[in-house]
C-alpha cells in the first residue's frame, strides 16, 4: 500500500469514525479546497496548515498589557484548531516579539509577511506600534487584526480594528454619566500622549456642544509620573461633578491610591475612566477603585453564555488567577473573524478575505454579537462597569449598537 493510499485510508477511517460519533457536521476539509485554488498568491498555506503571525510585545514596558492579547489569540487559535482549523487547515502560529520598540514592530511585520508569508497577523497594541507597522502591511498587502481601543482617525484596507475607536467609547459614556449623575462640570485628566489627547479633544467637544456641560480643567501627566498631589488639589478646588480620566500604566496606580488618600473616594467623587480594565485593576487594587466607573465594550463579569464559556476556557488555559480585560477580549475576536472571513471568501488570498469580512456578524463573541462594517471597524455596544473591591466590574449600563465612525464630523 502506498503512503498516499494509506493516508487516504486513514483520513477516510478517521472521518468515518468522527462522523459516526456525530462530532462533525458540515465542517470544511482541506480536501474540499485544494490549495492551488484557495491560495493563488503564494502565502504559507499547505493542504494541512496555514501560518498566522502573532506580533506583540512579549518583552519591554508594554509586555504588561500585551501579554493578555497574546494569550487570548493563542487560545482562539487552539480552539479553532480543535474544531478542525480553517478550511480544513490547522493554524500554525509564528510568534514575533515587538519588544515595545516601534521600529522593531515594522521589522518583524516585514519578516512575517515577506519571509514567513503568513496569511494574516494578529498584533500591535499601542497606536505607535500600529503606525510603525502599517506601511509594511500596506506595501506587502498583509492582513492585520488590531485589538486595542484607540483614537480613531485611521482606516486601512489591510487592517481590521477589533477594539473600539474613540467615538464609540467616549460619546455614549459621556451621555450616560451626564444623564445618570446629572453632571454639568467635568475635569479631564490623561497621560501625555496621542491617545488621551485625541480622546479628550473629542470629549471636550461633546461636553461643550452636545451636553451643555462645562470643562473646568484639563490636565496631562507625563507617562510614568507618580506624583499627583498638585493635580488632586486643583481638582479639589474646582469640585467637578465628574472626573473623566485616561491615565495609563503605572501612573494609574499612583493616581487612584493618592486620590483615595486625599479623601476623594467614590462616595464623594464620581469618576469615569476610559483606561482601566481588569488588567489594570490587578495593579491598582480593587479597594482603591471601588465605586468608580469604566467605559468599555467588554467586562469579564458580563453575563451571557458565550462569555461564560470564554472566561472558563481562558482560566483553564492560562491559570485561575488570569483576568480578562477589554483588549484581551478584542484580541480573542481576531482569529475568529479571520476564520469567518476565509470561509466566506472560500480563499486565503488577502484581497478576497478582506472583501469578504465586512457585513459579517459574529453572533457568539464573548461581548455579544458584533458586526464588521465597511470601514473595517466593528459595530459594538458600550458598557459602563462599576468597579467592586474584588477587582471585577458590575455592568450598570449597556448602550444600543454604536456604528463605528473613525473620522467623526465636528469633533476634529
Partner 1 sequence: MFGYSMAEIGNIVVMQGFSGLSMFTVLLLMALGLAIIFGQMGVINMAHGEFMTIGAYTTVMLSKVAATYGFTNYYFIFAILIAFGLAFIVGYFIEFVMIRHLYKRPLDTLLATWGLSLVMQQIFRSTFGAKEVSAELPEWMLGSFQPTPDIDIPINGVFVMGLAALVTFGVYMFMFKSRWGLRVRATVQNRTMAGAVGINTAKVDRVTFALGCGIAGIAGAAFTTIASTGPTTGTLYIVDSFMVVVFGGAASIVGTIASAFGIAQAQSVLQFFMTSSMGKVSTLLAIVTILMMKPEGLFASKLRK
> Is residue 230 within the footprint of partner 1 (CB under 8 A)?
yes
Nearest CA to 120 among 329, 334, 301, 289? Answer: 334
Residue (64 or 194) nearer to partner 1, CB: 64
> Which x/- pattern over 276-295 shows residues binding partner 1 (rule: CB under 8 A)?
---xx-xxxx-x--------
Q: What is the DSSP letter of 86?
A: B
Taking CB under 8 A as the binding criterion, the range among 19-27, 128-136, 165-173, 227-235 that sits at the site for partner 1 is 227-235
> Is residue 231 within the footprint of partner 1 (CB under 8 A)?
yes
Strand partners, 49: 90
> Which x/- pattern over 11-40 shows residues binding partner 1 (rule: CB under 8 A)?
------------------------------
Consecutive H or E run containing 161: strand 159-161
Residue (40 or 226) nearer to partner 1, CB: 226
> Is residue 233 within the footprint of partner 1 (CB under 8 A)?
yes
Task: State the minimum distance, in angstroms, from the CB of residue 184 to partner 1.
Answer: 17
Strand partners, 242: 186, 270
Distance CA 146, CA 144 (A): 6
Tell me how far CA of residue 311 lies from CA of 105, 170, 303, 384, in angstroms.
29, 26, 11, 19
Q: Which of residues 139-198 bind partner 1 (CB under 8 A)?
A: 192
Q: Which of residues 62-81 bind partner 1 (CB under 8 A)?
A: 63-64, 67
- Residue 386 and residue 292 in contact, taking contact as beta carbons nearer than 8 Å: yes
Residue with cell 515577506: 114
Consecutive H or E run containing 243: strand 242-246
Nearest CA to 243 among 279, 194, 198, 276? Answer: 276
Task: State the minimum distance, in angstroms, from the CB of residue 221 to partner 1.
Answer: 5
> Is residue 229 within the footprint of partner 1 (CB under 8 A)?
yes
> Is residue 388 within the footprint of partner 1 (CB under 8 A)?
no
For residue 348, count CB atoms less than 10 angstroms from its CB and return exposed for 0-12, middle for 13-18, buried for 19 or more.
buried
Instruction: Using the Cα atoms of residue 344, residue 345, residue 347 and residue 349 in order, give the sign of their dihedral.
Output: negative
Of 219, 343, 364, 405, the one binding partner 1 by CB under 8 A: 219
Phi-psi region at 141: left, alpha or beta (left = phi > 0; alpha = psi -120 to 50):
left
Taking CB under 8 A as the binding criterion, the range among 2-10, 42-50, 260-268, 374-382 that sits at the site for partner 1 is 260-268
Angle at 58 between CA 246 and CA 128, to 5 degrees: 45
Of 158, 167, 260, 354, the one binding partner 1 by CB under 8 A: 260
Q: Which of residues 234-253 bind partner 1 (CB under 8 A)?
A: 234, 236-237, 249-250, 252-253
> Is residue 103 within the footprint of partner 1 (CB under 8 A)?
no
Residue (235 or 370) nearer to partner 1, CB: 235
Residue (76 or 253) nearer to partner 1, CB: 253
> Is residue 88 within the footprint of partner 1 (CB under 8 A)?
no
Residue (88 or 217) nearer to partner 1, CB: 217
- The dihedrals phi and psi of 129, each to the nearest 5 degrees, come to -70, -35
C-alpha cell at 357: 469580512
> Is residue 61 within the footprint of partner 1 (CB under 8 A)?
yes
Number of H helices, E strands in the chain: 14, 14
> Is residue 257 within the footprint of partner 1 (CB under 8 A)?
yes
- The contact set with partner 1 (CB under 8 A) reads 58-61, 63-64, 67, 192, 219-222, 224-227, 229-234, 236-237, 249-250, 252-254, 257-258, 260-264, 279-280, 282-285, 287
Amino acid at each position: 500500500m502506498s503512503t498516499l493510499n494509506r493516508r487516504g485510508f486513514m483520513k477516510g477511517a478517521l472521518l468515518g469514525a468522527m462522523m459516526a460519533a456525530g462530532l462533525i457536521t458540515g465542517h470544511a476539509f482541506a480536501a474540499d479546497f485544494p490549495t492551488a485554488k484557495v491560495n493563488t498568491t503564494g502565502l504559507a498555506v499547505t493542504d494541512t496548515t496555514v501560518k498566522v503571525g502573532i506580533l506583540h510585545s512579549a518583552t519591554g514596558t508594554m509586555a504588561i498589557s500585551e501579554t493578555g492579547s497574546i494569550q487570548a489569540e493563542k487560545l482562539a487559535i487552539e480552539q479553532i484548531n480543535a474544531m478542525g482549523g480553517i478550511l480544513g487547515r490547522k493554524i500554525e502560529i509564528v510568534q514575533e516579539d515587538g519588544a515595545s520598540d516601534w521600529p522593531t514592530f515594522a521589522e518583524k511585520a516585514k519578516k512575517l509577511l515577506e519571509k514567513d508569508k503568513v496569511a494574516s497577523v494578529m498584533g500591535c497594541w499601542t497606536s505607535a506600534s500600529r503606525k510603525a507597522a502599517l506601511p509594511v502591511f500596506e506595501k506587502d498587502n498583509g492582513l492585520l487584526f488590531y485589538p486595542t481601543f484607540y483614537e480613531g482617525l485611521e482606516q486601512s484596507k489591510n487592517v481590521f480594528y477589533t477594539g473600539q475607536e474613540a467615538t464609540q467609547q467616549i460619546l455614549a459614556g459621556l451621555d450616560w454619566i451626564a444623564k445618570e449623575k446629572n453632571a454639568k462640570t467635568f475635569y479631564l485628566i490623561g497621560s501625555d500622549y496621542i491617545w488621551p489627547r485625541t480622546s479628550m479633544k473629542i470629549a471636550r467637544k461633546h461636553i461643550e456642544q452636545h451636553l451643555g456641560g462645562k470643562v473646568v480643567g484639563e490636565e496631562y501627566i507625563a507617562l510614568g509620573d507618580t506624583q499627583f498631589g498638585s493635580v488632586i488639589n486643583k481638582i479639589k478646588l474646582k469640585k467637578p461633578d465628574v472626573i473623566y480620566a485616561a491615565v495609563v500604566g503605572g501612573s494609574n496606580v499612583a493616581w487612584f491610591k493618592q486620590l483615595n488618600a486625599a479623601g476623594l473616594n467614590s462616595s464623594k467623587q464620581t469618576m469615569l475612566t476610559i483606561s482601566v480594565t481588569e488588567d489594570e485593576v490587578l495593579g491598582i487594587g480593587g479597594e482603591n477603585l471601588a465605586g468608580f466607573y469604566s467605559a468599555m465594550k467588554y467586562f469579564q463579569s458580563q453575563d451571557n453564555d458565550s462569555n461564560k464559556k470564554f472566561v472558563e476556557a481562558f482560566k483553564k488555559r492560562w491559570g485561575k488567577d488570569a483576568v480578562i480585560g477589554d483588549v484581551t477580549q478584542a484580541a480573542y475576536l481576531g482569529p475568529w473573524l479571520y476564520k469567518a472571513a476565509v470561509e466566506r471568501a472560500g480563499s486565503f488570498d488577502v484581497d478576497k478575505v478582506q472583501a469578504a469580512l465586512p457585513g459579517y456578524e459574529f453572533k457568539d463573541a464573548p461581548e455579544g454579537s458584533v458586526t464588521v462594517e465597511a470601514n473595517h471597524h466593528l459595530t459594538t455596544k458600550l458598557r459602563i462597569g462599576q468597579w467592586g473591591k474584588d477587582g471585577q466590574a458590575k455592568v450598570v449600563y449597556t448602550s444600543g449598537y454604536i456604528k463605528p465612525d473613525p473620522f467623526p464630523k465636528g469633533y476634529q
